[in-house]
Structure 1
Amino acid sequence: MGILLTILYLLVISVVIQFSIAVMLIIFGKGKQSRQDKHSLDFNELFFDYTSLPRLQTVTARDGQNIHYRHYSARSNTVLILLHGSGWHSQYFFSLARFISTEGLAEVYTPDLRGHGATPERRGDVDYIDQLEDDLADLILHIRKIHPNAKIVIGGHSSGGGLAIRFAGSRYAQQADGYLLLSPFLKYNAPTTRANSGGWANPYTGRIIGLSMLNMMGIHRFDFLAAISFNMPKEARDGTETLLYSHRLNTAYAPRDYKRDLSTITQPVLVVAGTADEAFIAEQFEPVISAYTLAEISLLPDVTHMGVVVGTDVQLVVKNWLIGINQSV
């Protein structure tokens, strides 16, 4: 009996110590706010005419809140859902989505992920860590009602690519027939990632560690706290940007474990990255991703992180891959 009490006492002391360390990290590990920095992403390529951008539509998610999305219609039995990266929203997919739909390669849906867009319920936050996956599954259910026999391809850029990989490792994995990953985020310390994503991200490292420790104890009470901010140039801001994320949104937007999540993928995968990417090291995508799943990797010379979405070079690569998807049984 005495031994059991001693063990119990030591366990309690251990938990108290870990909890205290976590709390100290949360309090004092806030980090820096976003600041303008020349060592960030180039947003100049996003400055083009959006006057013919499709209007936002809505579908009701399981919690009663609206999911906002744009639809680029096409005469195709393939649907491509494009998930935007951190900081902004689906608008910047305009040129790529229009090309894909105009070419008849796929019906394209571009959601404004929860916590983002012009009028989010709570900018930079979600209700719980898995909510973006649930929202995507709800959007797919809506799309299935409109296109019941269509193939569903999940695409994503940067953090949106990370979310696509997270979705592939979730209970919803079999809802996708393929994955299009445009410079996908894998993990802050993955071989593909430059320090602080090339100056774009300002993680509150201590706080993230502390909150992750509490999460491992089953404590999520403080997941609303800010965990990362982003460095968007002032000239690129229009009031619809989202430059501060809570811990739960930041966690929701990335793979749980990119190695495990990638290993679950059996569907066709196309990865496209530019060799001039400021946030990621393009040459590392092939050895890293191919170690866990079969993927087609395409590197575009002198293309930047944003250029891999809005540039014309990516269009032919995606076109050829989608033609293959459309022709497969």
Structure 2
Amino acid sequence: MYLGIAAALIILGKPKTFTEQSADNINFNEMLMDYNSLPELQYYQARDNTALAYRHYPSRANKTLILLHGSGWHSQQFLSLANYVSKQGLAQVYTPDLRGHGHDPKRRGDVDYIGQFEDDLADFMAMIKTRHPDTKVIVGGHSSGGGLAIRFAGGQYAGQADAYVLLAPFIYYNAPTTKPNAGGWAQPYTGRIVGLTMLNNMGVHWFDSLTAIQFNLPEPLRNGSETLAYSYRLNTSFAPRDYKQDLSSINQPLLVIAGTADETMYVDQYQPLISEYTKVDVKLLPDVTHMGVVVGPEVQPVLRDWLGKL
């Protein structure tokens, strides 16, 4: 009976078809800018010998800020913010293309196992520490990248980070901070996710490569480097295991920045939710959107003041 229910959910649990309106709920136009000054992609070797891409914004500061991108895109989204942080001498910035993303991934939208993002990030941090032994490492992330930072903080590598900064983080699909379907641009295979979770609880991972969620990125932002669908194991790897436990594991300084015009999150819930589990400094930027918290000038002085105190 249990296996039959799981199988039915996996086969039948697909989302409704996208509507054009679902792509218009978020102001993606803020991401349309000149990217000609992007640093060249460089590569580090993960423990499975896969070469994973990243960009580096140098600085002489004794701090290193790692910025983890959100769903669907890659490190390009941080150009303006990373440039500001590095040129102001606040920190050097590293922006990885997470496995399964970017211009030429091994398998777009997929990883090899649940939790591989954390292993990759630990390997990335080890490379940075080898190059800069005395640096403080701050792990940051936007949207789903913020969720990954929370997951990392609650896992086996938590002690490797000296601080965390989360930009409009996706905490969990049913957290009080999350609007339905991330404001409309994400379409999860809800039934399939439930069915695959049932199998995972039995230790069965045979079908974890199946698609679990799709994204409706507007055409002007598409150039072949976007990732519009995630496997179950990649999607699961992006989110906290148990956000209450993972947040409770954060003992380092934690800053959350979001905009009051965010289309995907109930930003007024960040402070009461997160402060229930750990100490947090929440800054809400008036009239700033979900993408604006990354590319807008309003985030810059907040990050400058916080990094200056670390």
TM, length-normalised to structure 2: 0.98
Superimposed CA distance per residue, residues 77-134 of structure 1 (whole angstroms, 9 cap, x where no aligned partner): 1000000000100101000000000011101000000000011100000000110000
Q: Partner amino acid for 1:24?
A: A
In 2, the alpha carbon distance for the partners of 1:225 and 1:33 equals 18
Are residue 115 (structure 1) and residue 100 (structure 2) matched? yes
Distance 1:67 1:233 in 2: 26
Residues 36 and 121 from structure 1, CA distance in 2 versus in 1: closer, same or farther, beyond 3 angstroms? farther
- Which ranges in structure 2 are unaligned for 5 or more consecutive residues? none
How far, CA to CA, are the matches of 2:100 and 2:19 in structure 1? 21
CA separation in 2, counterparts of 1:252 and 1:271?
21
Residue ranges of structure 1 left out of the alignment (5+ in a row): 1-16
2:21 alignment partner, SS class: coil
Aligned residues: 309
Match of 2:183 in 1: 198
User: Percentage identity across aligned positions?
Assistant: 61
Larger radius of gyration: 1
Matches within 5 A, 1:237-256: 237-256=222-241
Partner of 2:125: 140
Residue 49 (structure 1) aligned with residue 34 (structure 2): yes
Distance 1:215 1:296, change over 3 A: same
Q: What SS does structure 2 have at the residue aligned with 1:277? A: coil
| Equivalent-residue separation in structure 2 for 1:178 and 1:206 (angstroms) | 36
CA RMSD, Structure 1 to Structure 2 (Å): 0.9
Q: Which moved more, 1:232-241 or 1:205-214?
A: 232-241
1:283 maps to 2:268: yes
Which residue of 2 is the match for residue 103 of structure 1?
A: 88
Match of 1:25 in 2: 9
Return the alpha-carbon distance in structure 1 between the equivalents of residues 221 and 132 of structure 2.
36
C-alpha distance in structure 2 between counterparts of 1:26 and 1:65, whole Å: 30
| CA deviation after TM superposition for structure 1 residue 42, in Å | 1.2
- Report the 3-state secondary structure (helix = DSSP H, G, I; strand = E; otherwise coil) of the residue aligned with 2:174: coil
Q: What secondary structure, in the 3-state scheme, does the structure 2 residue paired with 1:70 have? A: strand
Q: TM-score, normalised by structure 1?
A: 0.93
Partner of residue 12, structure 1: none
> Could you give the per-residue CA deviations for residues 50-101 of structure 1, whole angstroms, max 9, x where no partner exists?
1111000000100010110000000111000000000100101000000000
In the TM superposition, residue 32 of structure 1 has moved relative to its aligned partner by 3.4
Partner of residue 114, structure 2 = 129
The answer (yes or no) to whether the contact 1:36–1:233 under 8 Å persists in 2 is no
- 4+ aligned runs moved over 6 Å, structure 1: none
Instruction: Name 1:309's counterpart in structure 2.
Output: 294
Q: CA deviation at 1:40?
A: 2.7
1:71 aligns with 2:56: yes
Aligned-partner Cα distance in 2 for 1:33–1:67: 33
Any residues of structure 2 matched to 1:6-21 within 5 Å, and which?
A: 17-21=1-5
Q: CA deviation at 1:31?
A: 1.8
Q: Is the 8 A contact 1:61 1:67 kept in 2?
A: yes
Q: Which amino acid aligns with 1:22?
A: A
Is contact 1:33–1:229 with CA below 8 Å preserved after alignment? no
Kept in 2, the 8 Å contact 1:36–1:232? The answer is: no
Q: 2:166 maps to which residue? A: 181
